[in-house]
C-alpha cells in the first residue's frame, strides 16, 4: 500500500467475535493486539523483489489465539460463519 509508511509499525488488533445472543449473555470476544517489529521481514514493504519462497516472510500469527475447544464452548461459529474484526491504528497524517 503506497499510502502507508514502511516499514509497517502501526498497532494491529484482531478480534474473534462471540455471536451469542447479547440478551442472554455478555459476548466474550477474543482479542489480540500487537505492535509490529519494523526490523522483521514480514513488516517491510511488499514488492516484486521479495521471493514468495522465502519462508521467513510467509506470515505472522498467534498459534494460541484460541483453542478449538474454546471455540466450541461459545458461539464463535454460528451458521458455519465466523466474524473477525481487524483494526489498525493509522496516524492522522495518512488519513488527511
Structural domains in the chain, CATH included, are 1-40+60-90 (2.60.210.10)
The cell 502507508 sits on which residue?
4
C-beta of residue 75 within 8 angstroms of C-beta of residue 19? yes
Q: How far apart are CA 32 and CA 65, in angstroms?
A: 7
Q: What pLDDT, on the 0 to 100 scale, is given for residue 46?
A: 78
Q: Output the nine-digit C-alpha cell for 15.
A: 478480534
pLDDT digits (tens, 9 = 90+) for 54-64: 666 666 666 78
Decide: 31 and 14 in contact? Cβ < 8 Å: yes
Please give the average per-residue pLDDT across 43-70, as a whole number. 72
Q: Cα(16)–Cα(66) distance, rounded to whole angstroms?
A: 9
- Joined together, the cell numbers standing for residue 1 give 500500500
Amino acid at each position: 500500500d503506497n499510502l502507508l509508511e514502511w516499514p509497517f509499525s502501526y498497532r494491529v488488533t484482531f478480534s474473534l467475535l462471540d455471536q451469542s445472543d447479547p440478551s442472554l449473555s455478555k459476548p466474550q470476544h477474543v482479542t489480540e493486539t500487537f505492535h509490529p517489529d519494523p526490523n522483521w521481514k514480514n513488516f517491510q514493504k511488499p514488492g516484486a523483489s521479495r521471493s514468495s519462497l522465502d519462508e521467513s516472510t510467509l506470515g505472522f500469527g498467534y498459534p494460541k489465539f484460541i483453542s478449538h475447544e474454546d471455540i466450541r464452548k461459545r458461539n464463535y461459529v454460528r451458521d458455519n460463519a465466523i466474524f473477525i474484526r481487524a483494526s489498525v491504528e493509522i496516524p492522522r497524517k495518512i488519513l488527511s
